[in-house]
Structure formats: C-alpha cells, structure tokens
Structure 1
C-alpha cells in the first residue's frame, strides 16, 4: 500500500505539436498539485520532434527543477515518448498526461485514491462510467471503435474495462517497470493493458471529465490507429 502522506508522483507528458496547449496544461497540473498538496512530484515532458514551435516554448521552461524535458530527434510516437520518460522517472506512482486539454488534472485526486485505499496497481480514467464533471459529445465512430477495441481486449485479458483506450492511465512505477514496452505509437494503450493484466496486477477504473478535440482542433488519432491497436491486442495476447 502506498502511503498518501509520503510518496512521489511522476507525471509523463508525451508532446507533439502542442504549442497552443502545453503551457496551459502545465499551469493546470501545477495548480492542481498545489491544491491537493502533492509536494513531492516531477513532470517529465518528452517532445517527439515537434515542428510547430513547441520546442522553443519548452526550452524556456528549463529553470524549474521539478520539470525535466527530453527531446526526440525524430518523430517516433506516443509509446516511444513514454518509454523515454520511463527510463528516467523516480516516482512511486506514474500518471500519463496528454499535452492537449482533453484530460483535466483536477481528476488526479480520483485517479490516485485507489492506490491509497485499495492497494491498486493500475488505475484507468474512464470516459464512459459517468460521474465526471462533463464529457464532450462527438465522434460516434471513434466511440464505436473504442468500444469494439475495449471489448476485444477484455476477451483476451478477462478484464471488464469500459475504456481501454483512455489517455488517463496511472500505474505504480514498480508495475510499469516490470514489463518491457515495445510499441512506439498509440498502440502503447493495448500493449500496456495486456502485459500488465498477464501479470495479474490489480486494475481499477474511475470516472473522469473529458473534453475531446475535433480534428480541426488538433486531434491526432485516426482510423488506422484502430486497426493497429487491434493487431497489437492479438499480437501480445498470443505471444506476450
């Protein structure tokens, strides 16, 4: 059981072409951590070779000793960014935080509670449980693809998740470091789920707020990622 009064939180932010949101999400994270008195934390930002000016913004943040920034020389994908951060983090609990504004750091308290009260190993923030402040409604086909992928993942893992593809995934760092991650793209989501489920770690879900972007607003995940995720589910379910 992790002690609520004495733990270190690591927040991983994979970042690619988010010049309009990266400073805003950082301010929201830091303000939220002050509100909940999470004094011992680190923020690990991994820029995945942005081309829109994000790098220049990040380089101006180098004077904060709680924020560590890594830069990829070429665009590799979300999974690769997480792997870079994972090699360097020092916290007891790890939160994956997207660099856009779709996920609200005010949900950190809900995401962390199962670690303190139920000895959770893994907590997923579900957009479909209800109970968040709000959830933006659009993209029926994304919703359907997500439900199909979650259903198939549940078949292979014998879990009962409602939102396998959620961007809010939280782990004991010891659990996350116990597996070898290979996927460099958005296929990180099914890979980490399957590999941790095979180790019989304790999964929890909590409801979260969601303000999903449109493609005009910068959303990156698309239909081809759904097919890649399906392939990933089958691959790691069969070979581990």
Structure 2
C-alpha cells in the first residue's frame, strides 16, 4: 500500500491548557517513509479558550497543515471523531486525544505493521510491552480490562486494550463503517464493527501511557463504563 499521508484526528473539549503542547509534540514527529501529516482538530463546543488557543497556534505554525472544525453544540467525543473521520484525506488515520496521555512519537510503532503490509487496523495497548505507564487508579484499570475481556468474548478478538485512544485505521475501512455512538461508546462500537469485516487484519503494539487524574482533566466516568457494556452487547446482536 502506497501511504503518502497520515490523518491525525484530534477531538477537543476544554483542552486549552494542553492542546498547544500536544500539537508541538505532533509537529516534532518524523514519520516513516516521509509520510506527511494532516491534522484535523474538531472542537466540540468547548466552553474555555480552546478555540482561541488553536487559532493562535495555527497562525504561528502555518507550515503545519491543520484543518479546524467546530460543533455549534457539545455532541460528545464520538461525534467529534465522526466529523474528523469524515474529513480525513490521508490513506491512514489515527486518533489522538488533545491531552498529554499518549505520545505521538509512537505513531511510527503503530504505522509499521500497516506500512509493511501486514495490518489494516492497529491498536496501541497500554497493557503490553515495557513502555512507561503512570500508576493511577486500580478500579479504573480493572474496569478497562473487564470491558476489553467482555468485548473479546463477543468479537472473538484477543485484544489487551479495547478502550485505548490510539487506534490507527486504513482510512477507506473506517470511512466505510456507519458509526453511531456520540460519546465514549465509540470504542466498543468501532471494535465490534471492525471485527465483523471479513478478512480484516488487526494488530496491537505496546505504547506508553501518561495518564491524568480527574483533577487534571480526565473526563470519562463510571456511567461511560455502563454505556460501554451496553454498546458491546448492542452491536454484537444488532449489526
């Protein structure tokens, strides 16, 4: 597969404190085979100064290709991803949160199985490999592992981290899937739907994780965990 461009989808909601820093990190990444970067930022109606920070950054870094979109009302992370995926023009796309929990320098680790012709989809796992991980909440980690196990039961996959942010897709595959979940149900929905594609090749690579606490801005909560369980069951039986 001839890969010329990687589309980086960045959903943003009230990330004024960190989004310029993650953009700096992305700017410093040199991709395999001189693949170029297309940044797609979707501001999900932030109530802080996220919009101003992004526009100032774009003015100061005009050599970096950034496409900016915004929602007039807050729709949720999944809805922001839907917008970004629809607008992507690269042969490959990856999801990047606007916080600092994931390291863009690891894009090449995700890209390698696709560039080598082995994979169509690559998940970055926080639970495999020797990469650094911040030690945070036991019950949150246990919840993530439980959701991954439950998802695996119904998808017949052997993932270690279904809930990871870092998911990389061949763009034509993800754009061909009708996605519905507007919030954090995106993760189990997309995993369920890609698992049903005949001949799909899914790989997983270990990544670093610099997690943040709820005081530092983490947004996902226990209600989203119950929604994920619902989505795992829903998309197994419905679609």
TM-score of the pair, normalised by structure 2: 0.95
2:230, 2:214 → 1: CA distance?
Answer: 24
Say whether 1:53 aligns with 2:49. Answer: yes
Task: Give the 5 Å matches for 1:178-217.
Answer: 178-200=176-198, 201-217=200-216
Pick from 25, 28, 39: which aligns with 2:25? Answer: 28
Equivalent residue for 2:36?
40
Residue aligning to 1:157 = 155
**CA deviation map 1:11-63 (0-9, x unaligned):** 00000000111000001001013x75645221000000111111111222444
Secondary structure at 2:87 match in 1: coil
Q: Which residue does 1:144 correspond to in 2?
A: 142
Q: How many residues align?
A: 235
Report if aligned partners of 2:124, 2:164 keep a CA contact under 8 Å in 1: yes
| Unmatched segments (≥5 aa) in structure 2 | none
Tell me how far apart the structure 2 counterparts of residues 26 and 88 of structure 1 sit (CA, whole Å): 19
2:111 counterpart of 1:112: yes
CA distance in 1, matches of 2:50, 2:33: 29
Flag structure 1 segments of 5+ consecutive residues without an equivalent. Answer: none
- The separation in 2 between residues aligned to 1:155 and 1:118, in whole angstroms, is 28
Contact 2:20 2:57 in 1 (8 A): no
In 2, the alpha carbon distance for the partners of 1:41 and 1:118 equals 20
Which residue of 2 is the match for residue 172 of structure 1?
170
C-alpha separation in 1, matches of 2:70 and 2:147: 31
TM-score where L is the length of structure 1: 0.94
Q: Are the counterparts in 2 of residues 102 and 213 from structure 1 also a CA contact under 8 Å? A: yes
Counterpart for residue 124 of structure 2: 125
Cα deviation for residue 86 of structure 1 reads 1.5
- Shift in Å, 1:118: 3.9
- Distance, in Å, in 2 between the alignment partners of 1:39 and 1:26 is 17
Give me the whole-angstrom Cα distance separating, in 2, the residues matched to 1:58 and 1:29: 14
The separation in 1 between residues aligned to 2:34 and 2:103, in whole angstroms, is 16
What value does the CA root-mean-square deviation take over the aligned residues? Answer: 1.3
Contact kept? 2:4, 2:35, Cα under 8 Å: no
C-alpha separation between the residues in 2 aligned to 1:100 and 1:107?
Answer: 15
